[in-house]
Amino acid sequence: MFFQGLFLSLAVHLILISSISSNSSETSKIGKEVTETPRVSKDCTNLETKSCRRWRKRGYCQNLPRRMELYCEMECGLCVKATEKPFVCDPKHKYGCCWNREPVEEGKDCPVCKDKYRTLCGTMVSQCKKGNSKKFMLKNCPVSCGICGKKEKIKLLSNKRLIKG
């Protein structure tokens, strides 16, 4: 168990370093380098408790916010407050609702949940919950603002097909 945790920690560290040193986008590299789907915490925690503080000090929280949210959301300050109530779709709607809180139209799928302006969204993530840009951010930066859902975020970062519905 100890060696498995150590190996996972080293693998994540190498992925983070290679992303920064190669100056490539997060989404294009993670699918090739991650051998397993990252574990997702239900609570605000750090999945890599021994490494998160060091990674934050190296600037990974700012340079790789989406990836760090998966492993070190508490250390990077990326947690959703417990007081925020999740959106609940009207159970009376015939086809349900999408991630964007819009009802599904007959014969149509939900739109793909992705950030419209990837760089801008990553730098303005603090505006998702408050501020003058909240409405803009929720509409144009759903991945960064965390309204897609963790499973969809992981699949999006892995360049796999998104879960619909």
Angle at 88 between CA 104 and CA 79, to 5 degrees: 115
Domain span at residue 43 reads 39-81
Query: Does the residue 133 lie in any domain?
Result: no
Number of domains in the chain: 1
Q: What is the pLDDT along the chain (165 residues), one digit of tens a residue?
A: 444 444 444 444 445 544 444 433 333 333 333 333 344 445 677 887 788 889 988 988 888 887 888 788 888 877 755 444 444 556 566 666 676 667 777 767 777 788 888 888 888 888 888 778 888 888 888 888 888 754 444 444 444 344 443
Query: Does the residue 103 lie in any domain?
Result: no
Query: Does the residue 58 lie in any domain?
Result: yes
The tokens for 149 are 């859902």
Helix H or strand E encompassing 69: helix 65-72
Q: Is the pTM of this model over 0.75?
A: no
Query: Does the residue 138 lie in any domain?
Result: no
Query: Does the residue 72 lie in any domain?
Result: yes
Query: Does the residue 68 lie in any domain?
Result: yes
Sign, CA torsion 92/93/97/102: negative
Which pLDDT belongs to residue 136?
Answer: 86
- For residue 125, the 8-state DSSP code is G
Which pLDDT belongs to residue 22?
Answer: 41
Residue 37 in contact with residue 154, Cβ under 8 Å?
yes
